[in-house]
Amino acid sequence: MEFIEGNFSKSRIFHWSKKGSIAILDQVLFNGVHFLINILLARWLLPAKYGVFAIAFSIFLVSAALHAAILVEPMLVFGAGKYRDNFKKYLGILIEGHFVITLGAAIILTVVALFIGRIYSKDIQVALLALSIATPFILLLWLLRRAFYVSLQPAWSALGGTIYFILLLLSVFFLRLCHWLSPATYFLSMGLCSLLISLFFIYLLHPKCSFTISPDSITMQKDHLRYGRWALGTNVLAWGVNNSYFVILPPWIGLEGVAALRALMNLSTPLIQTNSALSFLLLPILSRNRAESIAKMNKSVKLFLTLFISVAIIYLLGLVFLGGSILRLLYKNKYLQLSGLVPLVALLPLGTAITVILENALRAIEKTDNVFWCYVISSTVAIIGGILLAVVLGVKGVLWGYVISYLVACMMMTLFYSRFINIYKMKLKKVTV
């Protein structure tokens, strides 16, 4: 498939604009319902309970990082390239691997729950035990959603997202009506809804699961492990940049401080999640472009950077000028004292707009080791700098830690990608000479 050439045709622009719009719709539906429920939990739960939710979900995301590195991200590369002609069998093998990985993740979450409950509170322990049950089903849905992106058919994922949106929202209102709403019951309902939509997706995708070891499955495992060894470290480090504060900082800022931080981060979530949704469409596109020529891929990268940065700047200005009003709209009288920190939060989507493009460009050229080292440095800055700043400045210090770590990540990715392009141009000149 073609995306960018010297001249754009109207049909191609319309074709890719349509797919991009559907990908955004898909993200709005799937992650939009989580964002909406996040807001409702912040309004309905006491700050300490909401802090429990933020900590438990951040710990769960470690499992998600492992799952994405070993299964989802390699699928977006190899499923769109090497295994595109035998995708159903390939997907079946991935589903088999999914259950092996998530069973291990569930066991680890259970052990962590028993340990961390002694450090923080019984509520966190119960929430993590609920997540250990729900994790295999939640992550199965995340895997199957991305399978539609491999074939560049996000419309099916968006359809499932519509059903998921309705089911999960109704389940939360039901729990609220029955006075059963808590972080643990929400996680269990999330797992149940994920299972139902996953069954629907399996029906649509028709994966071929054999549950046997074959030469093809061994080859696929080797490909995923080769790719995933760097992606795994990268994703864990990216988790460190984005989520470690929620787990590490409660002794300094308390559960209420964690709740305040989560409430502020919710303001940047819509655009960050939109960027994330588009990244799963971008990686197959850039991988296909790269298979044709580096120059074609580089044109795509420049175009995406222009679009993403422009949207992020508009979003930033909106938050800066309307931050106080947005806090009041979302949380009523809660967290209004945080309005002075909104400008710092507004910078985060701009950082993700840049990193999501350059990270996917580096993945498309299989420079996952470069991405890894970018996150080594930025996560080190985030964790060490953020903790030191949090001790002195509280929640404000945490936000400065986020901003600085994103700045470092942007600089490092720009350096690595520019170096690759410059080497390519030098080789091209030698060939033409």
> The tokens of 242 are what?
């984005």
Q: What is the pLDDT of residues 185-200, one digit of tens each?
A: 999 999 999 999 999 9
Separation between Cα atoms, residue 371 and residue 355, nearest integer Å: 10
> The tokens of 81 are what?
């390239």
Task: Give the pLDDT band of residue 153 (cuts 50, 70, 90).
Answer: confident
Q: What is the phi-psi region of residue 8: left when phi exceeds 0, alpha when psi lies from -120 to 50, beta otherwise?
A: beta
In sequence order, the 6+-apart residues with CB closer than 8 A to the CB of 425 are: none
Write down the pLDDT at residue 4. Answer: 41
Write down the pLDDT at residue 193. Answer: 96
User: Does the CA dihedral 123-129-134-140 come out positive or negative?
Assistant: positive
Secondary element (H or E) of residue 336:
none
Task: Give the pLDDT band of residue 150 (cuts 50, 70, 90).
Answer: confident
Q: What is the pLDDT of residues 220-269, one digit of tens each?
A: 778 887 777 777 777 777 787 778 788 887 877 888 888 888 999 989 88
Q: What is the pLDDT of residues 258-305, one digit of tens each?
A: 888 899 998 988 888 777 767 767 877 888 788 778 888 888 888 889
Query: How many C-beta atoms surround the C-beta of residue 177 within 10 A?
Result: 9
Q: What is the pLDDT of residues 19-77, one digit of tens each?
A: 556 766 777 778 788 889 999 999 999 988 999 999 999 899 888 888 888 888 888 77
Q: Residue 236's closest CA among 361, 113, 380, 83? A: 380
**What predicted TM-score, i.e. pTM, was given to this entire model?**
0.75
> The tokens of 114 are what?
């028993």
